[in-house]
């Protein structure tokens, strides 16, 4: 393998590496949201025993929403982690296919599409969590009861 060929291989790996870095930051944000949701659930659970009936209803609604949110965040983290895994395999496949001079664009295309699809699913579940968080806030501040 010549130096220019090795340089080409490394350049192919840089773009997927940027996806890995971006997903890592997304997962950091998601784990922070998960931690905050869990902390809020613990706080509300400890408040529930001594609360008035009307407050207990609001707390129970919020807790149901938080449990649902935690499931969505878990799925978001799962799909973003899967994106990182698929992207890492893509980098490895690019390196192997390029160094062995085997032409298999189909493998690269499938791995790339699967990686981006995983990222998209992670973002969909993450956005869904944001909407549920706003619903929980509405339940907390509603004054119609």
Q: What's the pLDDT tens digit per position in 60-119?
A: 988 999 999 999 999 999 999 999 999 999 988 888 887 787 778 888 889 999 999 999
pLDDT, residue 74, reads 97
What is the pTM (predicted TM-score) of this model? 0.82
CA–CA separation, 120 and 99 (whole Å): 31
Report the largest interatomic distance among the alpha carbons of the chain, rounded to a whole angstrom: 76
pLDDT of 36 > 80? The answer is: yes
Average pLDDT over residues 43-66: 90
pLDDT of 23 > 80? The answer is: yes
pLDDT, residue 94, reads 83
DSSP assignments along the chain, one per residue: --HHHHHHHHHHHHHHHHHHHHHHHHHHHHHHHHHHHHHHHHHHHHHGGGS-HHHHHHHHHHHHHHHHHHHHHHHHHHHHHHHHHHHHHHHHHHHHHHHTT---HHHHHHHHHHHHHHHHHHHHHHHHHHHHHHHHHHHHH----
pLDDT of 143 > 70? The answer is: no
In percent, how much of the chain has pLDDT > 90? 52
pLDDT of 120 > 70? The answer is: yes
Q: What mean pLDDT value characterizes the chain? A: 88
pLDDT, residue 5, reads 65
In percent, how much of the chain has pLDDT > 70? 92
Structure tokens at 97: 């296919």
pLDDT, residue 116, reads 94
């Amino acid at each position: 393998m010549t130096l220019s060929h090795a340089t080409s291989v490394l350049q192919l790996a840089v773009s997927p590496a940027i996806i890995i870095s971006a997903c890592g930051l997304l997962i950091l944000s998601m784990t922070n949201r998960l931690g905050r949701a869990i902390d809020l659930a613990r706080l509300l659970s400890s408040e529930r025993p001594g609360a008035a009936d009307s407050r207990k209803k609001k707390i129970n609604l919020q807790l149901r929403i938080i449990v649902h949110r935690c499931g969505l965040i878990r799925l978001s983290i799962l799909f973003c982690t899967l994106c990182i895994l698929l992207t890492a395999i893509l980098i490895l496949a690019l390196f192997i296919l390029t160094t062995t001079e085997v032409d298999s664009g189909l493998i690269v295309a499938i791995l790339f599409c699967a990686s981006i699809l995983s990222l998209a699913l992670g973002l969909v579940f993450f956005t869904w969590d944001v909407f549920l968080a706003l619903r929980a806030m509405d339940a907390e501040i509603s004054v119609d009861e």
